[in-house]
């Protein structure tokens, strides 16, 4: 059995059963062995050998298996590293070596775009989006991220909730992260727009269902290590008070206007 057939056999063995908690360690080991085998391929970069199509196809398939396993383990760092290894196969080698695009191409590109957006990496998101053809942007895998970005820009958070369960559990993992992202944006707007706010109104704006979760959210806000933190949240007399850390710090009217506009958009959407 030559090295290519060995790789195909190991891939078939890996795919023979679904990944479960019980076989996770075994699957991880199988994939690690596959990655080691791929390293022995003769023509993969940075080799100067003439490209061997089968090597590139098998390497692409193994990278996709690695991305899938990272998603199953909810390991975002591992997912990104796997995607970056795969990226040349999707966008560079397809033009010169690979004869056919992977069936999972748009799925994983869309998932990576959602990963970037859910982590507030909007510049990287825009850069990756520019790599896609117009027809690719019409795919449901890409469109979900475009719809999310539009919802955030418009403050249309009720529509964002409808986008959940649109594809599968891996997409929903990142879609669910937007709840925290939205709350973060709303919290910053509340700090700039109010000196105090009734607890029931704060819970409604933050989309928090019970006071226990609100207490935890307040704790997180007050313990946040972010450098731009200017406000301490204090719960008192059925209200939340937003107390400036530095009373003498000059405010910027334009910034206040921006945040007031954002909050107005949020409240308008809530009423509608």
Q: What one-character-per-residue DSSP string does 212-228 give?
A: HHHHHHHHHHHH---TT
CA end-to-end distance (rounded Å), the chain: 66
What single string gives the DSSP state of each residue in 48-116? -SPP-HHHHHHHHHHHHHHHHHHHHTT-HHHHHHHHHHHHHHHHTHHHHT-SS--TTHHHHHHHHHHHH
pTM of the model: 0.74
- pLDDT at position 113 is 97
CA distance 68 to 196: 46
Position 198 scores a pLDDT of 94
Asked if the peptide bond before residue 5 counts as cis, ω within 30 degrees of 0, the response is: no
CA-to-CA distance for 107 and 268, rounded, in angstroms?
34
In 155-196, where does DSSP find H-type helix?
157-162, 169-193
Number of neighbouring beta carbons within 10 Å of residue 9: 11
pLDDT in single tens digits along all 272 residues of the chain: 799 999 999 999 999 999 999 999 999 999 999 999 999 999 999 999 999 999 999 999 999 999 999 999 999 999 999 999 999 999 999 999 998 999 999 999 999 999 999 888 999 999 999 999 999 999 999 999 999 998 888 877 767 767 776 689 999 899 888 877 778 878 888 988 999 999 999 998 888 889 999 999 999 889 877 666 789 999 998 999 999 987 554 444 445 555 555 555 555 555 44
């Amino acid at each position: 059995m030559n090295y290519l057939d060995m790789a195909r056999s190991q891939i078939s063995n890996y795919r023979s059963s679904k990944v479960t908690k019980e076989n996770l360690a075994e699957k991880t080991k199988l994939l690690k062995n596959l990655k080691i085998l791929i390293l022995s391929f003769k023509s993969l970069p940075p080799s100067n050998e003439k490209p061997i199509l089968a090597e590139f196809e098998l390497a692409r398939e193994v990278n996709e298996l690695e991305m899938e396993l990272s998603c199953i383990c909810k390991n975002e760092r591992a997912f990104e590293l796997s995607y970056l290894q795969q990226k040349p196969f999707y966008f560079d080698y397809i033009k010169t070596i690979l004869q056919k695009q992977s069936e999972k191409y748009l799925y994983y590109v869309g998932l990576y775009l959602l990963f970037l957006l859910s982590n507030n990496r909007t510049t990287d998101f825009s850069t990756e989006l520019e790599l896609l053809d117009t027809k690719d942007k019409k795919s449901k895998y890409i469109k979900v991220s475009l719809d999310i970005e539009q919802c955030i820009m418009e403050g249309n958070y009720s529509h964002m909730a409808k986008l959940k369960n649109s594809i599968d559990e891996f997409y929903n993992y990142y879609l669910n992260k937007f709840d925290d992202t939205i709350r973060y944006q709303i919290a910053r707007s509340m700090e700039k727009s109010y000196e105090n706010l009734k607890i029931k109104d704060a819970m409604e704006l933050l989309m928090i269902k019970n006071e226990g979760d609100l207490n935890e959210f307040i704790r997180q806000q007050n313990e946040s290590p972010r450098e731009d933190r200017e406000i301490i949240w204090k719960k008192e007399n059925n209200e939340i008070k937003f107390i400036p850390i530095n009373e003498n710090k000059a405010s910027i009217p334009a910034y206040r206007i921006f945040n007031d506009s954002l909050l107005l958009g949020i409240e308008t959407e809530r009423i509608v």
